[in-house]
Structure 1
Amino acid sequence: MGLLSTLKSQFICHLIICYVFLASGILINLLQVCTLPVWLVSKQLFRRINIRLGYCIVSQVVAVLEWWSCTKCTLYTDPASHLLYGKEKAIVILNHKFEIDFLCGWTFCERFGVLGSSKVLAKQELAYVPVIGWMWYFLEIVFCKRKWEEDRTLVAQSLQKLRDYPENYWFLLFCEGTRFTPEKHQASMQVAESKGLPKLKHHLLPRTKGFWVTVQNLRGTVSAVYDSTLNFRNNEKPTMLGVLNGKKYHADLYVRRIPLELIPEDEKECAAWLHKLYQEKDSFQEHYEKTGCFPGCDMSPPRQSWTLINWIFWSCVVLYPLVLMLTHVISSGSVLTIIVAVVVCSAASVAVRGMIGQTEIGKGSKYGNREVPPNNSKGSS
């Protein structure tokens, strides 16, 4: 194990993993472009094809977490709800405290068979990012500009298009809007005080308007909200770099299913409901800190081999021509060719470091876009 751990920590391994992801991702993006004519013949067939192509990209990241890092993910929930996971469309509320919380969310999507079809509310800039952003475009991910006046209509229109989506999906929402940090928490609690809302210890104040728009436009399509609270054992602070280094973490996720009909339709009442939900989430985190576990039964489905098989397949597809090219470069003896190859590899390493850096908590957005005046109504956010 010592030798394997040392191997996993080598940058060349990280470079290979990221190369496979980027090269295969671009190739899959091109395949997605080729599916555009299918939309004219059958929109639902276009969607089903792109669900599978999207899975080929995202499951590679899940494979790194589950098979390279061997991170263990434990699910706590009640048995009755567990029977419905993956068999219905749902809105999933996630806390946003860790650098790899999105990755743990994808892991559970994979284990319940909805990874390729799952959605997220993402900022508009991500639509232009190769691989993930382009893949999301073909999967009809909902993008927002974080300007409520524009997003109210834009997001609603995008959500309405999902009402006839052919397969079950989970719509993942980070209602806090940005990752938790002490500085953001302090700013968030100042907002809570100005609005007369109860303060939270482990979460930022949720942004209620996006949640309300999502619920209203998916009523009749989505069956429930899955309130999900994530934590890591031993007070670990996992990072993407740690995952690439093969470090094993242990994630605990508590999920409770709330039927959608229990959520108020009125915007102010829905906002109050969400604030109450986050007070409960705070109590779950408090319980975890004191006891080291969440309430509920351990209902963890096993990791799936398909993520590993998919990663091995695409590794073979994109590494074989790379090996041939490097062999040719070395055997050619051309100084210019070797210099170009070194420059390309150096640029790739910088890109990899940049990708890893984007997952860091410090890279997240600031809390709030403008100062909130005091004495606002409790229902707004």
Structure 2
Amino acid sequence: MNVQMGDDSGKQPRHRNLTLLRMVRGIFCLIVLVLSAFMVLVYFGFWSATGVRMISVHYSRVGTSFFFGCWLALWPFWFEKINKTKVVISGDSVPSAKRVLVIANHRTEVDWMYLWDLALRKGCIGSLRYILKSSLMKLPVFGWVFHIMEFIPVERRWEADALKLRQMLCTYKDPQDPLWLVVFPEGTDFTYFLFPFNFDFRILCVLIEQKCIRSKKYASENGLPILNNVLLPKTKGFYTCLEELRGSLDAVHKWPFNETIITLLLTVPFRALSVYDITIGYKHRCPSFLDNVFGVDPAEVHMHVRCIAIADIPESETEAASWLMDTFCDKDKLLSNFHSQGHFPCEGIESELSTAKCLANFIFVMTLTAVCTYLTFFSSIWFKIYVSSASAFLTTATYFNFRPSPIVSL
């Protein structure tokens, strides 16, 4: 069987060579990001997720979204301004909705990071929440971030995940809380690129081929479409998210392009938009995490966005599953065209990130990090005791998936 690799082809040369300068710069940036994450966690995330939460879950989430939104914004700054990766967004004009469900294809291990670039442009980067594999919660520091941000860890076995998923989704229903819930219905990335930087492409091809064979065999045995650029989506998790959140997502209004405001007000009904369907493609090859760290790939990240009215998605599980399957068939065609044409249709709907705003945010986060680092290592011993205690609490809370309940309600 021939595997259609498209922009994943390891035979393509890397966009940039790995030089000593890029390696040193990447390691330095990663150290800065980890240090700033730790300080924001201990000095700000800890209190917004515990102290404030005892008074109000809503204000706790607002505070958490603000501080971690500032920290997360460092990553698009790194990708686009330092590594010079071009981000091209196409498709529908994206409203700045505060509560949406995002569904996306899963090309490689870093897709979820590039969604930060879109969310930052819409002022919602701190609102992102992911359904992610539970093993990622064990990562040092970043596992604490995932816990405080209330990501949903899953085992990728529906029998083990169904109850946990519903319980977490029930806590997301407050329409006041900021929420961009991201679901990757494929359940795993298409390229399976969790390998060392110099991983042998021949072995990678075998692993991709095995994954594609399994997906296509299942499709053939169950009368489902054969897909070349995406895997068959798992529908139960998507439908559960849709079912639990259907009544609490934003109603943003999409107007036909060529109508006047008066005609719109008189004759055109409102169209509620609360689902963003995103298709991600890369030039010239899919990046791994280390590719991102050192800035050697990708050359370009392309995201095609389709805004969907919640009313257009069927309410029954069978019909919603069929709708999702059709959506992934469309993604497969989009990616085929992307590989042949080099772009998605209707590109350029979002402007580039503002360098001035990125620098201002960078200075703000680095100032907080510097002050907190000084207090931790060069100030009173009580700060060391506080940091140690907060770290112990965050480790325990993440391991046992514990969050305090409000004592009073505001």
Give the TM-score normalised by the residue count of structure 1.
Answer: 0.76
Partner of residue 211, structure 1: 238
User: Where does 1:257-336 land on structure 2 (aligned, <5 Å)?
Assistant: 257-305=307-355, 306-315=357-366, 318=369
Amino acid at match of 2:243: Q
Which of 85, 88, 91 aligns to 1:77? It is 91
Quick check: 1:200–1:279 contact (8 Å CA) kept in 2? yes
Offset, 1:219: 0.4
Pick closer, same or farther for the CA change 1:273–1:33 going to 2, 3 Å. same
Which structure has more relative contact order (CA 8 Å, sep 6+)? It is: 2
Q: Distance in 1 between matches of 2:178 and 2:166?
A: 19
With 123-132 and 282-291 compared, the bigger mean Cα shift is at: 123-132
SS, match of residue 166 in structure 1: coil
Pick closer, same or farther for the CA change 1:132–1:312 going to 2, 3 Å. same
Partner of residue 10, structure 1: 23
Which of 111, 116, 121 aligns to 2:121? It is 111
Partner of residue 24, structure 1: 36
SS, match of residue 252 in structure 1: strand
SS, match of residue 101 in structure 2: strand
Offset, 1:206: 0.6
Offset, 1:24: 1.6
Partner of residue 71, structure 2: 57
Quick check: 1:9–1:246 contact (8 Å CA) kept in 2? yes
Amino acid at match of 1:311: F
CA RMSD of aligned residues (A): 2.6
Q: Distance in 2 between matches of 1:163 and 1:322?
A: 37
With 219-228 and 111-120 compared, the bigger mean Cα shift is at: 219-228
Say whether 1:245 aligns with 2:294. Answer: yes
Unmatched 5+ residue regions in structure 2?
1-17, 191-207, 250-272, 377-410
SS, match of residue 40 in structure 1: coil
Runs of 4+ in 1 over 6 A off after TM superposition: 319-323
Say whether 1:220 aligns with 2:271. Answer: no
Say whether 1:134 aligns with 2:147. Answer: no
Q: Distance in 2 between matches of 1:28 and 1:88?
A: 23
Quick check: 2:88–2:347 contact (8 Å CA) kept in 1? no
With 104-113 and 238-247 compared, the bigger mean Cα shift is at: 238-247
Which of 35, 46, 56 aligns to 1:42? It is 56
Pick closer, same or farther for the CA change 1:26–1:225 going to 2, 3 Å. same
Quick check: 1:111–1:304 contact (8 Å CA) kept in 2? no
Offset, 1:51: 0.6
Q: Distance in 1 between matches of 2:373 and 2:41?
A: 19
Quick check: 1:67–1:308 contact (8 Å CA) kept in 2? no
Cα distance per residue 1:163-188 (max 9 Å; x no partner): 11534432111111111133211111
Partner of residue 135, structure 2: 125
Cα distance per residue 1:22-46 (max 9 Å; x no partner): 1221111212222312112222211
Partner of residue 213, structure 2: 186
Which of 162, 165, 186 aligns to 1:176? It is 186
Partner of residue 282, structure 2: 232
Identical columns (%): 28
Partner of residue 223, structure 2: 196
Give the TM-score normalised by the residue count of structure 2.
Answer: 0.71
Q: Distance in 1 between matches of 2:309 and 2:27?
A: 44
